[in-house]
């Protein structure tokens, strides 16, 4: 006996079949999506593409959706990553073998980006740093006047340090641009990837990109010694070999500019020295003491009025005292921070002093400033007068 037919059970099948047959919406093109995201604000610093979230932009340190409302899928981010990599087979191979890669990307008629693509939970994620179309000039960044003296240096090492997103690349670009305007040199940069594009002005500026123009910083830096530059910019001093060649270049009459991901001048010296075996550290300290000219550290801090962020900049300058502390190591009462505190006449400044100034000028609020301070306890004592509530005349009258 056959079972009775149930029309209700079969009814939904037709709509499901029709829906499955309907063509899926075409994915938005990567350039169109990027352009839509950039229209969100003129203050975007980074773009993020992650499975499970809509496209996000970072504005003044906060993430907000932009360009599309639906959450991205793993296939979306894989396609975006592939579009950004393009024909760069080295980057594609690095992503496959190492799990991440760095590339640069240009949006026609708009911005350039520094792109990092990485694997997570078996899917692609993408972070894109927005590079302004115009090279920032020294004045527009409100950099301390002392840093203008770097343009006149003939040799040595200048390091710009700070966490990711602290403005190191912009500061170095402004210094290179100032050299380009005021000197008549051959300037060579080695970057991963190239960020700001420097046109030839008074100087000739050659820019080499890791993987596209050279396989490594160390090889490019060694080759640079035979290319007659006066100024060499190394995107990052990542390893012992790069540090050694950079110091050799500085000792043989070149001005070397580079970056490190360290939080202040003291930690920068520790990082460089710590790369080398204990038996070589004394010699390394001696060489570094003689070759460094400036160690500049940066922190970007949200403004009190919410209009953006302001840079607090620490400057360690090569003087008789600071060279001694680098060579012999820091001790009680003989630290690089102590030298910066009393080195104002030499153009030095330290983080907490700058943060105190910005708080007193009303640029930063007290709590935010303390959160970014090197020593919040000491800074709070220095600002004790601001923490006291002003007397209320009405209350005083009532009490009388």
Query: Which CATH number is 273's domain given?
Result: 3.40.50.300
Residue 21 lies in a domain: no
Whether 48 has a pLDDT exceeding 50, the answer reads yes
Q: Are 29 and 278 in contact (CB under 8 A)?
A: no
| Dihedral sign computed on CA atoms, order 308, 314, 317, 319 | positive
Pair (121, 160) in one structural domain: no
Q: What is d(CA 74, CA 123) in angstroms, rounded to the nearest whole number?
A: 6
Q: What is the DSSP letter of 134?
A: S
Pair (125, 216) in one structural domain: no
Q: What is the pLDDT of residue 90?
A: 86
Residue 137 lies in a domain: no
Q: What is the pLDDT of residue 308?
A: 87
Q: What is the pLDDT of residue 26?
A: 58
Q: What is the percent of the chain where pLDDT is above 70?
A: 90
Q: What is the pLDDT of residue 302?
A: 93
Q: What is the pLDDT of residue 183?
A: 97
Whether 40 has a pLDDT exceeding 80, the answer reads yes
Q: Are 260 and 159 in contact (CB under 8 A)?
A: yes
DSSP helix/strand/coil, 49: strand
Q: What is d(CA 193, CA 233) in angstroms, rounded to the nearest whole number?
A: 13
Specify the residue for token string 């009388």: 400
Pair (114, 158) in one structural domain: no
- Residue 190: closest CA among 159, 147, 224, 144: 224
With bands split at pLDDT 50, 70 and 90, how would you rate the model's confidence at 19? very low
CATH number for position 100: 3.30.450.90
Q: What is the pLDDT of residue 388?
A: 61
Residue 371 lies in a domain: no
Q: Which of 349, 375, 392 is the last residue of a domain?
A: 349
Residue 6 lies in a domain: no
Residue 14 lies in a domain: no
Whether 7 has a pLDDT exceeding 80, the answer reads no
Q: Are 99 and 124 in contact (CB under 8 A)?
A: no
Residue 22 lies in a domain: no
Both tokens of 84, joined, read: 């950004």
Residue 359 lies in a domain: no
Task: Quote the number of domains for the chain.
Answer: 2
Whether 56 has a pLDDT exceeding 70, the answer reads yes
Q: Are 187 and 233 in contact (CB under 8 A)?
A: yes
Pair (49, 151) in one structural domain: no
Pair (200, 119) in one structural domain: no
Radius of gyration of the chain (CA): 27
With bands split at pLDDT 50, 70 and 90, how would you rate the model's confidence at 2? very low
Pair (75, 222) in one structural domain: no
Q: What is the pLDDT of residue 399?
A: 44
Q: What is the pLDDT of residue 400?
A: 42
Q: What is the mean pLDDT of residues 370-397?
A: 77
Whether 373 has a pLDDT exceeding 90, the answer reads yes
* Cα dihedral 378/384/385/386 (nearest 10): 100
Q: What is the pLDDT of residue 14?
A: 44
174 burial via Cβ count (<10 Å: 0-12, 13-18, 19+) = buried
Q: What is the pLDDT of residue 306?
A: 86
For 58-89, write each residue's pLDDT tens digit.
Answer: 998 889 999 888 999 999 999 999 999 999 89
Pair (100, 151) in one structural domain: no
Q: What is d(CA 184, CA 201) in angstroms, rounded to the nearest whole number?
A: 9
Q: What is d(CA 40, CA 121) in angstroms, rounded to the nearest whole number?
A: 29
Residue 65 lies in a domain: yes
Q: What is the mean pLDDT of residues 98-118?
A: 91
Sheet with 100-106, strands from edge to edge, namely 62-65, 56-59, 44-49, 123-131, 112-120, 100-106
Pair (208, 271) in one structural domain: yes
Pair (299, 322) in one structural domain: yes
Whether 17 has a pLDDT exceeding 70, the answer reads no
Higher pLDDT, 162 or 391: 162
Alpha helices in 183-314 (DSSP H): 217-224, 240-251, 265-274, 278-291
Q: What is the mean pLDDT of residues 257-278?
A: 96
With bands split at pLDDT 50, 70 and 90, how would you rate the model's confidence at 206? very high
Q: Which of 70, 103, 131 is the last residue of a domain?
A: 131
Both tokens of 306, joined, read: 């919410």
Q: Which of 87, 105, 131 is the last residue of a domain?
A: 131
For 308-361, write each residue's pLDDT tens digit.
Answer: 899 999 999 999 999 999 999 999 989 999 999 999 999 999 999 999 999 999
Pair (111, 170) in one structural domain: no
Q: What is the mean pLDDT of the chain?
A: 89
With bands split at pLDDT 50, 70 and 90, how would you rate the model's confidence at 387? low
Pair (151, 204) in one structural domain: yes
Q: Are 298 and 172 in contact (CB under 8 A)?
A: no
162: left (phi over 0), alpha (psi -120 to 50) or beta: left
Q: What is the pLDDT of residue 253?
A: 96
Pair (176, 297) in one structural domain: yes
Determine the structural domain holding residue 123 and report its residue range: 30-131
């Amino acid at each position: 006996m056959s079972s009775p037919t149930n029309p209700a059970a079969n009814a939904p099948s037709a709509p499901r079949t029709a829906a499955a047959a309907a063509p899926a919406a075409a994915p938005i093109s990567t350039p169109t999506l990027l352009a839509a995201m950039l229209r969100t604000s003129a203050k975007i610093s980074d773009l993020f593409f992650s499975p499970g979230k809509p496209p996000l932009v970072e504005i003044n340190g906060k993430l907000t959706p932009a360009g599309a409302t639906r959450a991205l899928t793993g296939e979306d981010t894989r396609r975006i990553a592939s579009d950004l990599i393009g024909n760069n087979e080295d980057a594609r191979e690095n992503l496959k073998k190492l799990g991440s890669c760095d590339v640069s990307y240009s949006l026609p008629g708009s911005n350039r980006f520094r792109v990092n693509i990485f694997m997570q939970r078996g899917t692609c994620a993408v972070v894109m740093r927005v590079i302004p179309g115009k090279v920032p000039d020294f004045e527009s960044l409100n950099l301390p006047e002392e840093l203008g003296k770097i343009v006149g240096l003939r040799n040595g090492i200048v390091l710009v340090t700070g966490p990711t997103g602290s403005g190191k690349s912009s500061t170095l670009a402004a210094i290179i641009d100032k050299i380009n305007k005021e000197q008549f040199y051959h300037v060579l940069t080695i970057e991963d990837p190239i960020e700001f594009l420097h046109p030839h002005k008074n100087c000739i500026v050659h820019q080499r990109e890791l993987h596209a123009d050279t396989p490594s910083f160390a090889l490019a830096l060694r080759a640079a010694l035979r290319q007659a530059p006066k100024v060499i910019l190394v995107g990052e001093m990542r390893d012992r070999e790069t540090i050694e060649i950079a110091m050799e270049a500085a000792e043989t009459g070149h001005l070397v500019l580079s970056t490190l991901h360290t939080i202040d001048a003291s930690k920068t010296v520790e990082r460089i020295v710590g790369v080398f075996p204990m038996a070589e550290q004394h010699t390394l300290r001696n060489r570094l003491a003689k070759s460094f000219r400036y160690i500049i550290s940066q922190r970007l801090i949200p403004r009190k009025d919410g209009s953006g962020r302001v840079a607090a900049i620490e400057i360690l300058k090569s003087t008789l005292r600071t060279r001694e502390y680098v060579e012999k190591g820091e001790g009680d009462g003989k630290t690089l921070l102590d030298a910066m505190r009393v080195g104002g006449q030499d153009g030095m400044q330290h983080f907490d002093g700058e943060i105190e100034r910005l708080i007193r000028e009303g640029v930063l609020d007290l709590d935010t400033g303390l959160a970014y301070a090197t020593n919040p306890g000491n800074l709070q004592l220095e600002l004790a007068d601001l923490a006291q509530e002003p007397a209320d005349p009405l209350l005083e009258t009532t009490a009388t």
